[in-house]
């Protein structure tokens, strides 16, 4: 699965590059729209799984209502983990388990974006607010077992970033920094995930 994923990723990246560099000269694909595909580094702030990781991607597409203001849609996902050393975990008043565990938190928010483009040129800095829903899969791996819980919550994420179109072929680069907050709640192996928040940045391709 890992190998398949690795090669599919490479194939998708190569396809994007080929398509991008074979386009006719333009500062970007459409002056009325924006698209980006990003890798992201996520710094979670929660007590469940807070190890920094780069296991995530972000996808954006938006349309300019005016030269400055756009609405769009987004989807991103990220996995963070945390190793918990061997300890007694109280699962209930009556039940206890002694083990080590590898916790995992998979977050997948999606929704709508409101974006303000500060400058309209090859450099396009912007501020944005993302609102939507977050699906989270909270799990713990221990010994040969796994415990998990699904949850849904409200999601909001302010973001600042820039799209840069240095080439005359329609493709550019995208960088952004974000904060996010969601109202997801879950309890796995006696530990609670509550209202996870994140800081992070994204690097990717803009079209």
Partner 1 sequence: MKKILPFIFAGALLATACEKLPDTDKLDNDYLVYTNYDDDTDFKKFSTFYVPDSVLIIDNSSNKPKYLYGTPASDIIIANYVSGMEKAGFVRTTDKESADLGLQISYIEDTYRFRYFNNYPWWYGYPWYWNFGYWGNWGGWYWPYNITYSYSTGSILGELVDLSDTPSTSKTLRVVWTSYITGLLNNNGSLNTTYVQKAIDQAFAQSTYLKK
Region of 102-110, 115-123, 158-166, 184-192 interacting with partner 1 (CB under 8 A): 102-110
d(CA 120, CA 34): 12
Segment holding 14, helix H or strand E: helix 2-21
Bridge-partner residues for 29, per DSSP?
A: none
* Distance of alpha carbon 161 from the chain centroid: 14
User: Which residue in 50, 131, 133, 142 binds partner 1 (CB under 8 A)?
Assistant: 142
Query: Which residue number, 99 or 187, has a Cβ lying nearer to partner 1?
Result: 99
- Taking the complex as a whole, the smallest distance from the CB of residue 166 to partner 1 amounts, in Å, to 17
Single out the residue of 39, 49, 44, 40 nearest to residue 105, CA to CA. 49
If the CB atoms of residues 79 and 197 are measured against partner 1, the closer one turns out to be 79
Q: Tell me if residue 5 falls in helix, strand or coil.
A: helix
Q: Does 179 bind partner 1 (CB under 8 A)?
A: no
The first and second tokens of residue 21, run together, are: 């560099």
> How many residues line the site for partner 1 (CB under 8 A)?
50
Q: Which of 104, 151, 157, 184 contacts partner 1 by CB under 8 A?
A: 104
User: Can you tell me which of 96, 112, 118, 129 binds partner 1, judged by CB under 8 A?
Assistant: 96
Q: What is the spatial order of strands in the sheet that 33-45 belongs to? A: 69-90, 56-64, 33-45, 197-206, 172-182, 145-164, 123-142
Residues near partner 1 (CB under 8 A): 5, 8-9, 11-12, 15-16, 19-20, 23, 29-30, 33, 35, 37, 53, 55, 57, 59, 61, 75, 77, 79, 81, 83, 86, 88, 93-104, 106, 108, 137, 139, 141-145, 170, 207
């Amino acid at each position: 699965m890992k190998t398949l994923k690795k090669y599919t990723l490479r194939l998708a990246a190569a396809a994007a590059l080929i398509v991008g560099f074979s386009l006719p000269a333009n500062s970007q694909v459409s002056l009325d729209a924006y698209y980006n595909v990003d890798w992201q580094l996520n710094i979670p702030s929660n007590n469940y799984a807070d190890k920094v990781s780069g296991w995530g991607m972000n996808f954006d597409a938006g349309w300019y209502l005016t030269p400055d203001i756009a609405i769009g849609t987004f989807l991103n996902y990220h996995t963070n983990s945390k190793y918990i050393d061997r300890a007694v975990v109280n699962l209930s008043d009556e039940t206890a388990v002694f083990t080590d565990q590898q916790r995992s938190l998979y977050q997948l928010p999606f929704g709508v974006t409101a974006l303000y483009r500060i400058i309209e040129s090859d450099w396009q800095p912007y501020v944005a607010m993302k609102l939507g829903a977050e699906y989270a899969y909270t799990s713990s791996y221990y010994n040969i077992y796994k415990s998990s819980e699904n949850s849904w919550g409200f999601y909001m994420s302010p973001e600042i970033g820039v799209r840069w179109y240095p080439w005359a072929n329609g493709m550019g680069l995208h960088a952004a920094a974000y904060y996010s907050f969601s109202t997801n709640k879950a309890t796995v192996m006696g530990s609670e995930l509550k209202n996870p928040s994140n800081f992070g940045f994204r690097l990717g391709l803009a079209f």
